[in-house]
Chain A
Amino acid sequence: MAEYFTARGLPVPPELTRNPFSDWRRNATVLVTLAVLIVGFKIVDIDVSRANPEYMWQVLVQLVHFDWSVMTPQNEFETFWDTAGGLMIVTIFLGIMGTAFAAVIAIPLSFLGARNIMAGGPVAQAVYVVVRLVFTVIRSIDVLIVVLIVLTLFGLGNASGVFAIAFHNVGVMGKLYSEAIEGVDAGPAEAMTATGANRFQVVWAAILPQLVNPFISFTIYRLDTNVRLANVVGLVGGGGIGVALFQNIQLLRYSTAGTFILLIVVTVAAMDFISAQIRKRLV
């Protein structure tokens, strides 16, 4: 390739003469990656010597040996809400309520966390930085950790689960909404400013119409994720079907646990499918 340049008396671009195997950046990348993996093996100390495949196989067989009795009330003290179906419905609503609370807080905050809205002056920009930082910090705390902390306030049960999901999602949804706001077409806002509209009218007439669909789309996406989370928060005491699943596993009732897991898988898959279908139509 260098002949093209030498034949014409042009300087040969350095990119053509560089040997990829002597490029120090390339070699350094390979070395660092290998070093991380080797150190990782040492530190993590992966011990598979005590593996018990027979026991696991027994449990797996029991798990798929579904116990359908949990689908109906088992004694005069139990109602529909104590059955697997009832608990599943409660769990779905844990996710819905958590999403709703988060949306109510995240939507107004997201405007303060959007660079294009907060472009006017140093104070606005400081607010933008703080709000985005808050979103990032909140987002970085996993839901399960949040549940453990919220438990100290509300105790075991649904309240802890709902508020933990809501808290975590203020961070996640705030970021999604803010980015949607930053992605709007600024042209209509300019045009409406030119007609003599005030700042609020510009946001109302030029920005909000562009946000309705992305906001609905992101909310449904998070709703689907949050119903999945609602199954897990129960494992640490956040209420819903997760509590029953955890108890049954502790009591080694794997057939019952299997039924719960099946129900969760079906529900989550259905939510996933429905949410994808709705979002496809919203674009």
Chain B
Amino acid sequence: MAALVSIKDLVKTYPTGTRALDGISLDFHKGEFIVLIGLSGSGKSTLLRCINRLVDPTSGTVTFDGMDVTRAKGMELRRIRRRIGMIFQQFNLVKRSSVFTNVLAGRLGYRTTWRTIVGRPSRDDVALAFENLGRVGIVEKAFGRADALSGGQQQRVGIARALMQRPELMLADEPVASLDPATSHSVMKYLEEINKKDGITVVCSLHFLSLARRYGTRVIALNAGKVAFDGKPADIDDRRFREIYGEDAVEVEIGLGQTEPVPAEAGDSVDAPALDPRIPPDR
């Protein structure tokens, strides 16, 4: 099967001299739930942003569905971008605008500049906005200000906005890093749902290995801009963990009934915690 995203020898050096990506080659296949892990500064965010060209790579190529993202310009690039949804750690909503306006902004790539200024949203776009708000469970807050919502709700608005694009790929840059453990699980479950039900490929960077094990079908670890691990979540054992995070690292757990209580909404359909039995959770 041809890869949905194919990354070859990707290098990104920032003007400050930081080499964020140091020759990355990876293939992402349709339907995968890929979790990126690694220390802060290991290149996770840069890698995600090279896929939709929010960051221009220094060298190497990224292809999406056979199209060369690294060489695309103008309209062609925007056409590619609108097939790729993205959600962010800080949600990146327009705080003063209503939830509804924020969600509709997900359609910008499908509208002309002229329609953006003078046009009212089309009937289809409005219907789609309500449908997506319904999916993430915040229809009743649609006309309130975005910053009146809690963090978890704002991230769900972010997901609804990205779904407006009808994306084939969803990039998630530390989507739960600003949220508490219980809320983290509820947001991750929405990502899991769009991955399983809609068949949207998800590439998500995370800080907590327990979340990576629970939601990922594949885990990729970055270390200093290089791939340090690429495989099944269950294969990250003690030795691998230390390779990724350094000798002194100790794993911490998040949620899933070990230490923090997880509300029924987030925890009840979790059959068995996908934890590696070789790593005791309480170290």
Contacts and interface: CB of A to CB of B under 8 A. Distances in A.
Given A197-B78, A209-B96, A187 B90 contact: yes
A205 B85 CA distance: 17
Given A190-B88, A210-B96, A196 B113 contact: no
B50 interface: no
A187 B95 CA distance: 10
A142 interface: no
Contacts of A198: 78, 113
A195 B94 contact: no
B40 interface: no
B91 A193 contact: no
Contacts of A187: 88, 90-93
A200 B108 CA distance: 11
A94 B108 CA distance: 42
Contacts of B90: 187
Contact of B116 (A188, A190, A204): A204
Interface string B236-280: 000000000000000000000000000000000000000000000
B113 A190 contact: no
A79 interface: no
A196 B79 contact: yes
B95 A185 contact: yes
A191 B165 contact: no
Interface residues on chain A, size class: 20 to 34
Contacts, number: 83
Given A193-B81, A196-B82, A198-B78, A205 B113 contact: no
B222 interface: no
B105 A205 contact: yes
Candidate in B105, B161, B162 with the most chain A CB atoms within 10 angstroms: B105
Secondary structure type dominating chain A contacts: helix
A195 B92 contact: no
A195 B96 contact: no
Nearest to A188: B94
A200 B116 CA distance: 10
A204 B117 CA distance: 8
Nearest to B82: A196
A197 B54 contact: no
A213 interface: yes
A179 B129 CA distance: 34
B86 A194 contact: yes
Contacts of B107: 195
A227 interface: no
B38 interface: no
Contacts of A192: 105, 108
Nearest to B105: A205
B150 interface: no
A92 interface: no
Nearest to B146: A188
Interface string B102-129: 0001111111010011000000000000
B161 A196 contact: no
Contact of A191 (B88, B95, B101): B88
A206 interface: yes
Interface of A: 185, 187-188, 190-198, 200-201, 204-206, 209-210, 212-213
